[in-house]
Chain A
């Protein structure tokens, strides 16, 4: 870790977000220079029998939702893969698949291997704080021939951020297959939303603590362009969930692709579009 435990404790409670952001940005630059990657994602529901209509611009097709049975999940994966025209297909939460394994009375690896056999390339997300056995579950993903698109957090109290990030870093030391970590919580409370200071502090601390995961990721659709752009200046280097639908009913400059590029450049960085495999497009 690039800062000492004492410094980290001080930074975790600081309100000097500019100082904290500067340290995180410096680390980000050492690792990625000015490159900021983004991926355009097309979401398709897990529970549907309708063949998906997929936008050709998608760099990742993501199956979202909780399948009721393994058979349903496998069938849906095969259907989506057939329509994906070679684009990488990700799907499901690893925590939901752990639960499915329990319900099916099958080993998690069997579930994962069957999904892989149906054409799934990546598990869409592994919510660290929801996994029953994070290390084992992530290792099973790897053994089954799948990749993990991102490690996420379902919920995150500010006071526990550093401890949780340290646990994430420890997991990566064990498994070494996590390519991206999204430190902002997936579950938002609209009655008490996180603040700008909360989010900036969490992204910056994640860059400092989880220094063994290549990418610190921010979600464009969940957190919005404004916060996502600011996150790029305090340690984040990858933007997830940019819309793959590139219609521009409100003018070319407001089309998703143009907007993400414009925001990255305005943050002083160079946009690189990638696909779900983290390969440049």
Chain B
């Protein structure tokens, strides 16, 4: 089928298959892709509203046994630069988030063998006891799989326990490209196969949680594999309708074992537009200004995105790999409005919370994102001694050997 015929099919609201999606991604002129994607966005969001959320990406530990070759954030077990945040540190971050109008943490971390499931449960309960309405958007599928392996308990049971402790929703991290050839090449097959990642999301959706879906592209995958990733997400969404949004970002190469270069801005816009066209059962697509910068982030709103993501306050993972963009609420809203849209705050469920906070009260400008812990490692939090460690280094640190 020619590009024009496929474009006509998309414009008429038809669903395209993988071959048609690949043809569009590879051969359609960039403005054509943008036009098609923008029309779908306008149909789904006719009010011209572009949303954003005020939250904070907290990484509770950087200690990780997964050793993905594209990751610049992790430290191996026993590293002097390894850290685990204490409950009090996390509470302080929540206080700071609430102070600027935020209502959620995006809480993710490394696969630390010295943090048992009970640590997570206690943390979630403590957060909910202290901040009852605060949301925990926490633990991507590979972290849930890691906990399942640590506890030797099935995914469903781990998720049930986390939900009982206070888990509100699951972030879509760790998807990378949901094709096992790619995952093997990136050394992330061991942390979660494509089927395992999707299975965690299936469990979460059946348990009543909403989740996001992501794609980290621009490493070793082919165009076909990028499309296959989208097709797998679309199929699960047909089955469960549990994804709230899709977020694509480009691999950030600095300080990683994989190294190489970053995909270009035009590739990002083409990928985003293709995703909007393929993922016809997803309500929302986020712009990744964190990896693309504010300018291309804003241009994403013309290529299918209807959400500017998070004000974020803190980010550690992509910054470790070289991306250092920062936008506070005022800047995000300025970009949304400059593009001709209406800016609204939302929660993780994409429910509108209201107008920009800074228009109601004075919020300090934020010129740089915070980090989990300045200077990396440090002393272990006191409460860690209450939990059994599995690694020798962890046992020594907690004097459990």
- A189 within 8 A of partner (CB): no
- How far apart are the CA atoms of A250 and B254 in the complex, in Å? 8
The answer, yes or no, to whether B309 is at the interface (CB within 8 Å) is no
Q: A21-B31, A193-B294, A195-B334 are in contact. Are A233 and B266 (CB under 8 A)?
A: yes
Give the residue of A195, A251, A267 whose beta carbon is less than 8 angstroms from that of B298: A195
Q: Of A79-87, A99-107, A121-129, A224-232, which binds chain B?
A: A224-232
For residue B208, CB closer than 8 A to chain A, the reply is: no
CB of A199 closer than 8 Å to a CB of B:
yes
- Bitwise, A1-41 to B at CB < 8 A (1) or not (0) is 00000000000000111100110010000000000000000
CB-contacts of A216-256 with B (<8 A): 224-227, 229-230, 233, 250-251, 253-254
A198 within 8 A of B: yes
B31/A253 in contact, CB under 8 A: no
Given A226-B265, A266-B266, A25-B338 contact (CB < 8 Å): no
Residues on B with C-beta less than 8 A from A21 are: 31
Bound form: Cα–Cα A195–B287 in Å: 14
Q: A195-B338, A196-B299, A230-B266 are in contact. Are A18 and B260 (CB under 8 A)?
A: no
Q: Which of these, B260, B266, B267, B295, contacts A251 with CB under 8 Å?
A: B260
Given the complex, which residues of B lie within 8 Å of A199, measured CB to CB?
Answer: 295
Interface string of A59-87 (1 = CB under 8 A from B): 00000000000000000000000000000
| Residue ID in chain B nearest A252 by CB atoms | B261
B114 within 8 A of A: no
Q: Is B34 an interface residue (CB 8 A)?
A: yes
- Binary interface encoding of chain B residues 68-97 relative to chain A, with 1 for a CB under 8 A from any of its CBs, else 0: 000000000000000000000000000000
Complex contacts, A230 vs chain B, CB 8 Å = 265-266, 269, 295-296, 299
Chain B interface size, as a band, is 20 to 34
Q: Which residues of A contact B203 (CB under 8 A)?
A: none
Q: Which residue of A lies closest to B255 (CB)?
A: A250
Chain A at the B interface: SS class: helix
B294 contacts A251, CB within 8 Å? no
Give Cα A229–Cα B267 distance, bound, in whole angstroms.
10
In the bound complex, how far is the Cα of B292 from the Cα of A233, in angstroms?
A: 17
Q: Which residue of A lies closest to B338 (CB)?
A: A195
Question: Would A263 and B264 count as touching, CB distance under 8 A?
Answer: yes
In the bound assembly, the distance between CA atoms of A40 and B297 in angstroms comes to 28
Bound Cα distance A21, B269 (Å): 14
The CA of A194 and the CA of B35, in the complex, are separated in Å by 24
Q: A196–B295 Cα gap in the complex (Å)?
A: 4
Q: Is B339 an interface residue (CB 8 A)?
A: yes
CA distance A229 to B261 in the complex (A): 15
Contact B260–A253 (Cβ < 8 Å): yes
Closest B residue to A22 by CB, please name it: B31
Q: Residues 279-300 of chain B: 1 if any A CB is under 8 Å from the residue's CB, otherwise 0?
A: 0000000000000111111110
Per-residue CB contact flags for chain A residues 187-209 toward chain B (1 = under 8 Å, else 0) read 00000111111111000000000
Within the complex, which residue of B254, B264, B294 is in contact with A267, where a contact is CB–CB below 8 Å? B264
Residues of chain A in range 104-147 having any CB-CB distance to chain B below 8 Å? none
Chain B residues with CB under 8 Å of A17's CB are 299, 302
Please state if A268 and B261 are interface contacts (CB–CB under 8 Å): no
B253 at the interface (CB under 8 A from A): yes
Known pairs A195-B294, A196-B298, A226-B295 / 8 extra A-B pairs, C-beta < 8 Å: A15-B340, A195-B338, A225-B264, A227-B295, A230-B265, A254-B260, A259-B261, A268-B266
Interchain Cβ contacts under 8 Å between A and B, 6 examples: A195-B339, A197-B298, A251-B260, A251-B261, A266-B264, A267-B30
